[in-house]
Amino acid sequence: MSVPGARALDSRNRLWVAAWIGIVAAAACNGESNEPYQSEVEEAPGLAVAIVIDNSGSMEDTVPGDQAPKYLIAQSAVQEMLAVTDSFVASRPDYPVKLTIFHFAGEAFRLMPIQPYDADEVRRAVEGIPFPDGATAIGDAMGEARRELYRSGTFRKHIVVITDGDNTSGRSPWNEAREIQRRSGGAVQLYVVAFDTDPDRFAFVDLLGGAVVAARDAPGLREGLKSLYEERILAEVEPGR
């Protein structure tokens, strides 16, 4: 008896295995470390999410149909996305949910260290993002977020990057994402929200088992982040993890 979608799933699994073999082989050829990341604290069931917000010069621009600059749209959308955490925590008081927030231009800056979710702390952190300026160091920001997640003490770890452009400074996002996937053993899930930019430039994220969300405008960003957070990150919480 055939199962609908089984062939597609099997094909995707084969692609994932081939990609993983290629990642490890490429790392070995380039002399990169395959040593697993080590948590800085003892880990237990729980969820940690790093929100990484592009604050480069282009985030000052607007998108079609909206007069607000992209950086203000992104700040508002992030707060809306995270608001549902209150009800999740209320329904699962035994399950820690921790957050950290970064913004980046030519380099990454931590706005809020990893800590249990608090709506007021999130608001203060997001409102503390300065006026957009500078280059776009996506790969470096991913690396800083990954380091902070390994201070969370939780098994489940996610990085959500919101960006409107290509990497123009620092380490390549592909190399950083490849290392994160390889050395975390898949424990860190990566998502990129392509805001007013071509999502295909981040196709490598899909190859590494993450997801790319296309957001052409403000409604698309709000809906994309909401769907990602509720249907992918929170919905996949499993007992014991």
Domain ranges of the chain: 1-35, 44-234
CA 169 to chain centre: 19
What is the model's pLDDT at position 11? 45
Phi-psi region of 170 (alpha: psi -120 to 50; beta: other; left: phi over 0): left
71 with 60: CB under 8 angstroms? yes
* Sheet hosting strand 108-116, strand order edge to edge: 108-116, 97-104, 44-54, 154-163, 188-195, 211-215
| pLDDT (tens digit per residue) in 32-86 | 678 999 999 999 999 999 999 999 999 999 998 899 999 999 999 999 999 999 9
Distances (CA, A) of 186 to 53, 164, 194: 22, 26, 22
Both tokens of 231, joined, read 């249907």
Residue 22 confidence class, pLDDT cut points 50, 70, 90: low
Query: What pTM was computed for the model?
Result: 0.86
CATH topology of domain 44-234: Rossmann fold (3.40.50)
Q: What is the pLDDT of residues 200-230, one digit of tens each?
A: 999 999 999 999 999 999 999 999 999 999 9
